[in-house]
């Protein structure tokens, strides 16, 4: 049975698998397209439509259509349709369900084992929500893979052998990442990453839509067009088409009509780039931070700069990277590279799953037992044993996407308290990661318990301010004797390759300790199971 890579995008999604020749292939959707809009239309209480028709229905039934749901992943967010409540996980599961249904129809086999891509800058909560979405959809999620890493895996197949360092500039429909990756033989290693998971092509679309509305109202100042959901949806669809058109044409016209009033607007590429100049500048600021992080590791030059994501087709992206950084970017398969790379990674993961005890590479395995495992895996996957050995030996390593720390308090002499976050596990630390114990202390006299709150960087850069961080977990050391203010506590952090965060704290006078495996404030196992049952009742179609 094949394994599949799924690019679960903010605006478009697609599925790929590795065929019998070792080539990644896109599984087309029900209407023969390689990508599917990540849009869900709750048509009735038991039927949903996913994809192009759902996107088209947004004009007629805006209150029953969900778009850009990926931007809500990992948040407490709920929508209700036909009396049923839905979370970002359950809505994403419906997208996954249709993607895999169409793929199964094309390949004539069940789609079960998958790898799902996530933005490199997704935090713990967003990643866990993505994994839950896959489970709700009835899939076995072998792993999650950062989108730039997936793109690099696809690109690696096309690049020369040897060691190379590449910068991936990934501007998708709703997220943006820049990542530095080193390709070295069987190793694919992330060196550093940065990004904004609420910045993407949809923001460029919105600027055009706003411009169209302003232009219409300028000609028709008494119009109530701005209060019409149907009219705004029409502008949103027109804006995306106009953005795509301006990648090849220097101007586009659009005719608008509402309640008998009309307006004709011409948007030039120059106007479009002026309207979105600040958005592009934000991507370059993030790129500069990534370059600075790479420079701190001794990397000042790149063998290639790879453009990924449909929005990189905008001419201003290539031109801006060339002018500001002196890059000569390569545009290769930007819409499909992530899914194809994820399919390669899915095959690697499938091999390792079928070779228990050989996660560090089967190439060095010896003995009859190891050979039997390899031959069995090869038979299950339909591969030659030698290829199984090579795949099992491949290593893909990533980094901690954001900084993690604990909330601390400073108590002034007058009793005034000020809170901040002290980061223990730094962003861009190679995974698996483990820190040395960091020394903290009790804040008050006669403390009998210690509350440890775990916080994750939420802002663009590491900051002590609570507003720039998000609380993701906590634990309490209880039953302590009355401690003096300043009594020492050691706290260490560890994160594995799957992004699971573990925190260990010990009060040094009593040696009372605390182990915390961060439990994300998302869906519980019961909620996931209930959502899985609810989603299974829907008839899903394209």
Residues 263, 134, single domain; the answer is no
Q: Beta strands 488-495 and 438-441: pairing type?
A: antiparallel
H/E stretch holding 70 reads none
Residues 129, 143, single domain; the answer is yes
* CA distance linking residue 222 with residue 220, whole number of Å: 6
Residues 315, 171, single domain; the answer is yes
Model confidence, pTM? 0.85
In a domain? residue 390: no
Q: Computed from CA positions of residues 224, 226, 227, 231, in that sequence, does the dihedral angle turn out positive or negative?
A: positive
CATH number at residue 500: 2.60.34.10
pLDDT digits (tens, 9 = 90+) for 172-207: 988 899 999 998 877 888 999 998 888 999 999 999
Q: What is the percent of the chain where pLDDT is above 70?
A: 94
* CA distance linking residue 192 with residue 176, whole number of Å: 14
Residues 138, 190, single domain; the answer is no
Residues 127, 195, single domain; the answer is no
* CA distance linking residue 357 with residue 373, whole number of Å: 10
State the residue range of the domain holding 469: 404-511
- DSSP label of 484: P
- DSSP label of 122: -
In a domain? residue 379: no
Nearest to 88 by CA among 28, 125, 129, 51: 129
Per-residue confidence (pLDDT) for residue 364, from 0 to 100: 46
* CA distance linking residue 229 with residue 58, whole number of Å: 9
* CA distance linking residue 165 with residue 152, whole number of Å: 10
In a domain? residue 408: yes
Residues 59, 135, single domain; the answer is yes
Residues 266, 202, single domain; the answer is yes
In a domain? residue 340: yes
Residues 192, 103, single domain; the answer is no
Residues 502, 534, single domain; the answer is no
Residues in a beta bridge with 143 = 115
Please classify residue 137 by burial: count the beta carbons closer than 10 Å to its beta carbon, then call 0-12 exposed, 13-18 middle and 19+ buried. buried
Nearest to 212 by CA among 233, 247, 230, 239: 239
CATH number at residue 64: 3.30.420.40
Cα–Cα separations (whole angstroms), residue 523 to 90, 142, 494, 507: 10, 19, 23, 32
> Does the bond joining 88 to the residue before it have cis omega, within 30 degrees of 0?
no
Residues in a beta bridge with 495 = 433, 501
DSSP reduced 3-state for 456: strand
In a domain? residue 444: yes
pLDDT digits (tens, 9 = 90+) for 268-325: 999 999 999 999 999 999 999 999 999 999 998 999 999 999 899 999 999 999 999 9
Number of domains the chain is built from = 3
Q: In which residue ranges of the chain is pLDDT below 70?
A: 1, 157-161, 356-367, 369-370, 377, 380-381, 518-522, 542
Interhelix angle 88-107/525-536, rounded to 10 degrees, is: 50
Per-residue confidence (pLDDT) for residue 416, from 0 to 100: 87
- R_g of the chain, CA atoms, integer Å: 25
CA angle 382, 383, 386 (to 5 degrees): 155
Cβ proximity of 329 and 306 under 8 Å: yes
CB contact burial 70-82 (16+ within 10 A = b; e otherwise) = bbbbbeeeebebe
Cβ proximity of 186 and 163 under 8 Å: no
Residues 196, 73, single domain; the answer is no
Residues 25, 8, single domain; the answer is yes
* CA distance linking residue 113 with residue 246, whole number of Å: 39
* CA distance linking residue 304 with residue 278, whole number of Å: 26
Per-residue confidence (pLDDT) for residue 1, from 0 to 100: 65
Cβ proximity of 35 and 335 under 8 Å: yes
In a domain? residue 377: no
Strand order in the sheet with 404-411: 417-425, 404-411, 450-457, 469-477
The pair phi, psi for residue 323, each rounded to 5°, is -70, -45
Would you tell me how many other CB atoms lie within 10 Å of the CB of residue 2? Answer: 22
H/E stretch holding 68 reads none
Residues 327, 340, single domain; the answer is no
In a domain? residue 258: yes
In a domain? residue 83: yes
Nearest to 393 by CA among 354, 364, 432, 369: 364
Nearest to 328 by CA among 362, 309, 304, 346: 304
């Amino acid at each position: 049975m094949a394994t599949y890579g799924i690019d679960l995008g903010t605006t478009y999604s697609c599925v790929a698998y590795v065929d019998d020749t070792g080539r990644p292939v896109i599984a087309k959707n029900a209407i023969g397209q390689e990508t599917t809009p990540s849009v869900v239309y709750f048509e009735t209480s038991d039927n949903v439509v996913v994809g192009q028709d759902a996107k088209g229905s947004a004009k007629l039934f805006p209150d029953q259509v969900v778009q850009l749901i990926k931007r809500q992943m990992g948040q407490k967010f709920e929508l209700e349709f036909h009396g049923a409540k839905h979370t970002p996980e359950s809505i994403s599961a419906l997208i996954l369900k249709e993607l895999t249904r169409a793929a199964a129809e094309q390949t004539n086999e069940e789609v079960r084992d998958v790898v799902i891509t996530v933005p490199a800058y997704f935090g713990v909560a967003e990643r866990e929500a993505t994994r839950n979405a896959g489970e709700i959809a009835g899939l076995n999620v072998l792993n999650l893979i950062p989108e730039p890493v997936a793109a690099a895996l696809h690109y690696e197949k096309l690049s020369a052998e040897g060691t190379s360092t590449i910068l991936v500039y990934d501007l998708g429909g709703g997220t943006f990442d820049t990542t530095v990756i080193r390709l070295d033989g069987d190793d694919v290693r992330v060196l550093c990453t940065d990004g904004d998971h609420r910045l993407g092509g949809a923001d460029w679309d919105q600027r055009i839509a706003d411009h169209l509305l302003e232009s219409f109202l300028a000609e028709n100042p008494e119009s109530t067009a701005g209060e019409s959901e149907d009219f705004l949806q029409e502008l949103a669809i027109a804006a995306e088409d106009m953005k795509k058109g301006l990648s090849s044409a220097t101007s586009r016209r659009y005719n608008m009509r509402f309640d008998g009033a009309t307006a004709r607007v011409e948007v030039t590429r120059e106007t479009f780039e002026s309207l979105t100049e600040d958005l592009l500048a934000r991507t370059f600021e993030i790129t500069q931070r990534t370059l600075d992080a790479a420079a701190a590791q001794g990397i000042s030059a790149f063998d290639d700069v790879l453009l990924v994501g449909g929005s990189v087709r905008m001419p201003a992206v290539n031109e801006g990277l060339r002018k500001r950084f002196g890059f000569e970017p390569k545009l290769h398969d930007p819409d499909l590279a992530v899914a194809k790379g994820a399919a390669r990674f899915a095959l690697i993961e499938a091999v390792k799953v079928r070779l228990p005890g050989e996660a560090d590479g089967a190439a060095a395995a010896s003995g009859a037992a190891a050979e039997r495992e390899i031959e069995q895996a090869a038979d299950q996957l339909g591969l030659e044993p030698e290829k199984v050995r090579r795949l099992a030996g491949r290593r893909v390593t990533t980094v901690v996407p954001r900084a993690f720390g604990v909330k601390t308090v400073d108590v002034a002499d007058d009793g005034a308290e000020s809170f901040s976050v002290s980061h223990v596990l730094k962003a861009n630390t190679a995974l698996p990661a483990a820190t040395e114990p960091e020394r903290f202390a009790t804040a008050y006299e006669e403390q009998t318990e210690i509350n440890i709150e775990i916080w994750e960087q939420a802002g663009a850069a590491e900051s002590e301010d609570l507003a720039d961080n998000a609380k993701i977990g906590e634990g309490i050391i209880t039953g302590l004797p009355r401690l003096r203010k300043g009594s020492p506590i050691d706290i260490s952090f560890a994160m594995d390759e799957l992004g699971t965060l573990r925190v260990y704290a010990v009060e040094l006078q009593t040696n009372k300790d605390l182990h915390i495996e961060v439990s994300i404030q998302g869906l519980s196992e019961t909620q996931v199971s209930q959502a899985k049952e609810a989603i299974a009742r829907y008839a899903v179609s394209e």
